[in-house]
Amino acid sequence: MCTDALPGRLHPALPMLSSLTIGQAHQKLRSKEITSEELTRACIAQIEKVDGTLNAVVHENFERALEQAKNVDAKGDYAHPLTGIPYLAKDVYCEEGVLTTASSNMLRNKDYIAPFDSTTTKRLKAVGAMSIGKVNTDEFTMGASTETSCFGVTKNPWDTNCVAGGSSGGSAAAVAADECLFALGTDTGGSIRQPAGFCNITGIRPTYGRTSRFGVMSMASTLDTIGPMCKNIEDLAIVLEAIAGHDPLDGTTSHEAVPPYSKNLKTDVKGLKIGIPKEYFIPGMNQEVEGAVREAAKVLENLGATLHEISLPHTEYATPCYYVLCPCEVSSNMARYDGVRYGHTVTQPKDLLEYYERVRSEGFGPEVKRRIMIGTYALSAGYFDAFYRQAQRVRTLIKQDFEKAFEQVDIILSPVSPTPAFEVGKNSSDPLAMYLEDIFLSSQVMAGIPALSVPCGFSKNGLPIGLQLMGPQWGEQTILSAAHAYERSTEWHKKKPVIA
Amino acid sequence: MAQLTPDQVRHIAKLARLRLSDEEVAKFAPELTSILGYIEMLQKVDTTKVEATAQVTGQQNSLRDDVVWDGLASRDALLGTSALPIVDHQIQTSSAHG
């Protein structure tokens, strides 16, 4: 692989190319100041420099990406803002001819190579963006720290004793460490927003059905969403615009028109009504997180928005609701991993039943087994109504909380996580403690609404703090524009980690 | 609060086609019990007359035209991801009856 990367004709004083935002790189590509190949080589060089420390990248796709970059350069048409832009995809996005393993021994041992593309990577390919590899995730996206990955934990670029978050922790660390220009994540119960908050980058969970789930390995089908993770809000808007919209291969995607998010960003927030839910600011919460988030609200107020205390009364039930619906759907979705059509295999089983049991017991790690068993129990005869049906009804109440709130306010503001990034190993022996990482992130999932994470400060130990903005269903533009106004007045998103 | 016994854990594992070691059973029984204890708090919520939500954006019956198309990958490409022997374009598994 080539590491003679950084091309001689660049001025040595120029910042590292891989640290550019999509918007900046696009300008330089159009003006022929740089080539896509140079940009791609810069990302590869950065991966080779820092990934030994971080462990974000789990599969490299460098040769193919360079070939695609050369083709893009040969054409020389950089009209689309993503043409010639290198990115990393979470290890659950299928790409034809490329390793995709969900960071699980179930697929790793057989080295699953997808025979087709996910709709999202296909759309990105069509506009000339290149996937340079796959990034780490909790096994089959089940976790909040990447500690359940068969490839081991991804370290936080801001403090390598801490986790990068999860499940899209590899995506977040890679973007924060400039190993790519942007990354793809998935958010089922907070898996884009929490790692984005932990690593000082931006990430959006779109409305359920705004982006296609086709070709992305499913965890919980009524909750899964796919979305981008970027260096700023403008980039988030650019990528979302390119991947959103109806897909005949995912029946839950909407025909609702996709607005030109990135063009509409520069509206101001004068008169924007922002709800502050009292249930998200509780006695005993982390003071640094509360301080940074209240300060961010003040910034928006100074820009002309108005703040309103609101109530979302069923907030406390959202996480338990999630941990019923999610494992039930997991137990069903994971049934496909039986060692027949793909994945792990064993030799000389006595019969088919033994084959299934041995394949699944060797292939799945403990968190996947826990969720499969909780789901199997909750869906078994006699328990269905008490668990799954009851959770679906509580889901309705949580959704109604938001519908009522959005009659009074335009967007809702809260912290992303109750604390900054935690230390590696702190929660890994207590599954329930890990589940409570999601307390501010589950309600939006239940309501199917969009929510994003944007950097809003640092703890005194130098760990990033994330601000969460939520909008009504299909209201991505409103939260992106508000976050962009916030970004224009603050510098947090520009801060970069020094990787030890 | 539901207390899962080791035998119940083994039974659930069997339903889920998982084979657990004794160590795993001993570890999972209290862990699953504590998770079930946590999700039991949903029982406190009064949901009489509340409809269940399955499709959160209200999308219904998403149908496409009834036209045959080739699909995204050939049959052989799909078979190619199996670790098991392929015989006459079919995957050969162990016998279901030993």
Q: Which of B12, B53, B64 lies at the smallest CB-CB distance from A373?
A: B12
Which ipTM was obtained for this model?
A: 0.96
Q: How many CB pairs under 8 A join A and B?
A: 184
Residue A347 covered by a domain: no
Residue extents of the structural domains in chain B: 6-44
A451 shares contact with chain B (CB less than 8 Å): no
- Hey, which residues of A are catalytic here? 90, 167, 191
Give the C-alpha distances (Å, rounded to integers) separating A492 from A104, A227, A465, B23.
35, 22, 9, 47
The total of structural domains in chain A comes to: 1
Q: Tell me the DSSP string of A23-34.
A: HHHHHHHHTTSS
Inter-chain CB proximity A369 and B56 less than 8 Å: no
- Look-up of token digits 């891989």: A18
Report yes or no: A29 and A78 within 8 Å, Cβ to Cβ. Answer: yes
Q: What is the DSSP letter of A304?
A: T
- In the CATH hierarchy, which fold is given to the domain comprising B6-44? Histone, subunit A (1.10.20)
Residue A95 covered by a domain: yes
- Secondary structure element (H or E) that encloses residue A189, with its range: none
Inter-chain CB proximity B31 and A252 less than 8 Å: no
Residue A376 covered by a domain: no
Tokens of A364: 């799945």
Please name the residue of chain A whose CA is at the shortest distance from the CA of residue B74: A115
Report yes or no: A95 and B72 within 8 Å, Cβ to Cβ. Answer: no
Q: What is the pLDDT along chain A (500 residues), one digit of tens a residue?
A: 333 344 434 444 445 999 999 999 999 999 999 999 999 999 999 999 999 999 999 999 999 999 999 999 999 999 999 999 999 999 999 999 999 999 999 999 778 999 999 999 999 999 999 999 999 999 999 999 999 999 999 999 999 999 999 999 999 999 999 999 999 999 999 999 999 999 999 999 999 999 999 999 999 999 999 999 999 999 999 999 999 999 999 999 999 999 999 999 999 999 999 999 999 998 878 999 999 999 999 999 999 999 999 999 999 999 999 999 999 999 999 999 999 999 999 999 999 999 999 999 999 999 999 999 999 999 998 999 999 999 999 999 999 999 999 999 999 999 999 999 999 999 988 888 888 888 999 999 999 999 999 999 999 999 999 999 999 999 999 999 999 999 999 999 999 999 97
Tokens of A340: 């027949």
CATH of the domain at A101: 3.90.1300.10
Inter-chain CB proximity B91 and A341 less than 8 Å: yes
Q: Measured between CA atoms, how close is A400 to chain B, in angstroms?
A: 11
Q: Provide the residue range defining the domain that includes A241.
A: 17-320+388-494
Q: What is the DSSP letter of A274?
A: E
Q: How far apart are alpha carbons A238 and A23 in whole angstroms?
A: 9
- Neighbouring residues of B19: CB distance < 8 A, sequence distance ≥ 6: A357, A358, A360, A361, B13
Burial group, residue A148, by CB count within 10 angstroms (0-12, 13-18, 19+)? buried
